[in-house]
Amino acid sequence: MNSNNKIYITKSRIPNESFFFGQCRDIFKSAWIINNGNYVQKLEYSLSAYLAISHIIACNNVMTALMLTLQCAGLAGKKVAVTPYT
C-alpha cells in the first residue's frame, strides 16, 4: 500500500509547532512545571469553566488524586478497596 492510500482509524491532533514550543519555553524559563505553576493554574481554570464547576484540582497522578479524595472524604488511614487498575 503506498502512502497515498493510507486509511487512518484516528489521527492525532497536534498543536501548531511554534505555539507548542513557545509554551514549552515559557515553562522551562519559569522552572515551575507543577505544584500550582502558571500552566497548571491555566489548566484548572479552563477545565473549571468548560465543566461549569467552581473547584477543580489537577493532580500529577491517580495515586495522588485517590489520596486527596480519601483525605477529603475523611477516610484517610482507613482500609478502602479499589480496583487494581486505578
Write out pLDDT tens, residues 19-61.
999 989 988 998 887 778 888 899 999 999 999 999 999 988 8
Q: Output the CA angle 78-82-69, nearest 5 degrees.
A: 60
**What is the C-alpha separation between 24 and 70, in angstroms, rounded?**
33
Among 35, 59, 58, smallest CA distance to 46 is for 58
pTM of the model: 0.62
User: 57 Cβ partners below 8 Å, 6+ apart?
Assistant: 44, 68
Give the pLDDT band (50/70/90) at residue 86: low
State the pLDDT at residue 3. 64
Q: Which of 53, 57, 61 is nearest to 86 (CA)?
A: 61
